[in-house]
Amino acid sequence: MSAAGDADVHARMSARLAELHEELRRGEVQLRELVQRETALRESMLRISGAAQVLAELLEDAAAPDTAGPGNGATAGSGAADVPRVLTVT
């Protein structure tokens, strides 16, 4: 191959390498944006889930007969009012 041909191949390879680096940089930016969006969405879903659980518990308490007095509708002496309710979100 001639010197001119070698230079041409080298120039095309260098240009392609620059294009690949730019594509990689754009991909990394997009990935960071997607991770931020995922985090924000998970936080929103956690808030929504918590609000739904609170409303469900309020409806449950309102529907239960009030035989135990104030609390979560547990029967007297059961100790259930002392047990916190836990929500697991995955």
CA 81-42-85 angle, 5° bins: 5
Rounded Cα distance, 72 and 56, in Å = 12
Q: Among residues of the chain, what percentage have pLDDT more than 70?
A: 71
The residue ranges of every structural domain in the chain are 3-66
Q: What is the pLDDT of residue 90?
A: 62
Model confidence at 16, in pLDDT bands (50, 70, 90)? very high
Closest CA to 87 of 41, 43, 46, 58: 46
Mean pLDDT for all residues in the chain: 84
Whether pTM > 0.75 for this model: the answer is no
Asked if residue 74 has pLDDT above 60, the reply is no
Rounded Cα distance, 47 and 41, in Å = 10
Q: What is the pLDDT of residue 4?
A: 82
CA 39-47-59 angle, 5° bins: 155
